[in-house]
Amino acid sequence: MELTLPYIAASVFLLLVAFKFLSQKIHHSRPNIPPSPPSLPVIGHLHLLHRPLHRTFHNLSETLGPIFSLRFGSRLVVVISSSPGAEECFTKNDIVLANRPHGTIGKYLDYKYTTVVSSPYGDHWRNLRRLMSLEIFSTNRLNAFLSIRRDEIRHLLRQLHQKSSADFTKVEMKSKLYGLTFNIIVRMIAGKRYYGDDLEDSAEAAEFRELVSKAFEYGGSWNAADYVPVLGWIDYKGFEKNLAKFHKRLDLIFQGLIDERRRDESKNTMIDHLLSLQESQPEYYTDTIIKGLISVMILAGTDTSAATLEWAMSFLVNHPQVLQKARAEVDAHVGQDRLIDEHDLQELPYLQAIISETMRLCPPAPLLVPHMSSDDCTIGGYNIPRDTILMVNAWAIHRDPKVWDDPTSFKPERFESREVEAHKLMPFGFGRRACPGAGLAQRVVGLALGSLIQCFQWERVGEDPVDLTEGSGLTMPKVEPLETMCKARDIMKKVLSGGVNDA
């Protein structure tokens, strides 16, 4: 028979009807799966996934309820938007839901799923978490790296002072805050500065910055072929080929950092500690494992803290009375004769409340990181089959009127008088796979924000409040990079003359 257009169209139509019929049969053979909206054959609900996803999921939960399901092509995805649902996931079901889904991006950026972020729950993941908590995040290690955090924050303060010593001046904050958190992490890892001024090798720094920003772009994207396998057979849009090529370059730069540390005499960076473990257990602490840790620290640990700082500064500029109260707290506790330091943070509850309130309204990972079920389980009475992808909409839970009074207003006071349970406020997730870098992030964000409040006055650029629209990306960025008016306070003269103590 001749392959005419009507013949092809009729065949495709029949195939789609058959597919729909089969998928409904499969659905009915697994009863009591969370409700879902009508879907299309083959792609399921992929056409509904408009960015930002946390808002799309929140809108769907308003009609479907706090636990609903979607089909990303061939994969079942369950989305949780309530605090009791999240609690059930990360207490009763914590182990069953402790796997991560695999996809093309993880195959490359996560070194074939061997990094701590993407490795399946099991011995290898446990070893990596133990290694991180001893070698990177232990109190001893964090204290040993305190001088890096102090030094980078002073760089930022000096940079701002150059512009604003005489009067209020407009400053662009986003790039400065991102530079701060990147330099802190990369100096901890390899002892190098790649952002801002005073760079040792600006060509190397530029290449590093270009590759890392591309890695963030990949991290925030997704490959349709992970859900519609037929697209993978033809490598739709060359996605995998380009990713593989890009990852070769990124891998080379990470390998370069390791090789450079091998040649260096001073032994103070994270890579040095890992290389000394490699000497005693070379078969486990391979270069690939070390490169995976470098990649994870950069991708999980930089943007998240920078985004929190940018949102916090935006809220402060929009709420001058909150800023004034925070400054009064810092002045009362620390004064103007010395710079705020990390040990002050526990004595500054209002500053901490501002950070909590910022992460409540703008969690840098609004959907946490996807989990996957390793076995059948139940959530909220619904059946969740093995290999289901689970997403928890922390952004929606943080704004749920059943949990929070006046949920969309910025009111740090709500944290002054009460401890909040983990299943209500979860910017770092909770349960086994919760963020291991939370302690470091709290130190960096607390010290940086406290220093900016102590050393400068801040105002809006015009009459209008700072635009708080969210963009899309790996972390939840602001669409408009933050610009504010800034003027140095007297303490900056002492900082510059070296006349302030560090304690």
**SS3 per residue for 387-418:** CCEEEECHHHHCCCCCCCCCCCCCCHHHHCCC
Q: Which is nearer to ligand HEM, 355 or 488 (CB)?
A: 355
CA distance linking residue 215 with residue 5, whole number of Å? 43
Print burial letters for 239-258: b (CB count within 10 Å at least 16), e (below 16).
bbeebeebbeebbebbeebb
CB count in 10 Å sphere of residue 129: 16
CA distance linking residue 17 with residue 102, whole number of Å? 30
β strands within 47-107, DSSP E: 67-72, 75-80
Site size with ligand HEM, rule: CB under 6 A: 25
CA dihedral (73, 78, 79, 85) in degrees, to 10, reads 180
From candidates 191, 412, 436, 446, binder to ligand HEM by CB under 6 A? 436
Task: Report the nearest approach of ligand HEM to the CB of residue 448 (Å).
Answer: 11
Q: Is 146 in the site for ligand HEM (CB under 6 A)?
A: no
Q: Which is nearer to ligand HEM, 117 or 258 (CB)?
A: 117
Q: Omega before 427 cis (within 30°)?
A: no
Q: Is 396 in the site for ligand HEM (CB under 6 A)?
A: no
Assess contact for 241 and 223: CB atoms under 8 A: no
Q: Which is nearer to ligand HEM, 382 or 430 (CB)?
A: 430
Of all helices (H) and strands (E), which one includes residue 358? helix 349-361
**Lookup: tokens for 483:** 């610009």
**Helix/strand number for the chain, H first, E second:** 19, 9
CA distance linking residue 442 with residue 440, whole number of Å? 5
Q: Which is nearer to ligand HEM, 420 or 496 (CB)?
A: 420
Print burial letters for 38-59: b (CB count within 10 Å at least 16), e (below 16).
ebeebbbbbebeeebbbbebbe
> Which residue has tokens 């950092």?
257
From candidates 57, 254, 428, 456, binder to ligand HEM by CB under 6 A? 428
Binders of ligand HEM among 230-249, rule CB under 6 A? none
Q: Is 313 in the site for ligand HEM (CB under 6 A)?
A: no
Is residue 435 a known part of a binding site?
Answer: yes
Per-position x/- string for 348-367, each x denoting binding to ligand HEM as judged by CB under 6 A, each - no binding: ----------------xx--
Task: Report the nearest approach of ligand HEM to the CB of residue 280 (Å).
Answer: 24
Per-position x/- string for 277-296, each x denoting binding to ligand HEM as judged by CB under 6 A, each - no binding: -------------------x
Q: Is 477 in the site for ligand HEM (CB under 6 A)?
A: no
Q: Is 85 in the site for ligand HEM (CB under 6 A)?
A: no
Q: Is 82 in the site for ligand HEM (CB under 6 A)?
A: no
Per-position x/- string for 32-71, each x denoting binding to ligand HEM as judged by CB under 6 A, each - no binding: ----------------------------------------
From candidates 435, 455, 486, 495, binder to ligand HEM by CB under 6 A? 435
What amino acid occupies position 460? Answer: R
Size of the chain, expressed as the number of residues it contains: 503
Q: Which is nearer to ligand HEM, 309 or 326 (CB)?
A: 309
**Termini Cα distance of the chain:** 86
Q: Which residue in 321, 342, 344 sits closest to 331, CA to CA?
A: 344
Q: Which is nearer to ligand HEM, 404 or 428 (CB)?
A: 428
Q: Is 183 in the site for ligand HEM (CB under 6 A)?
A: no
Q: Is 437 in the site for ligand HEM (CB under 6 A)?
A: yes
From candidates 34, 44, 191, 427, binder to ligand HEM by CB under 6 A? 427
Q: Which is nearer to ligand HEM, 426 or 495 (CB)?
A: 426
Task: Report the nearest approach of ligand HEM to the CB of residue 70 (Å).
Answer: 19
Residues annotated within the binding site are 435
Q: Binding-site residues for heme, please?
A: 435
Residues making contact with ligand HEM (CB under 6 A): 116-117, 129, 185, 296-297, 300-301, 304-305, 308, 364-365, 368-369, 427-429, 433-437, 440-441
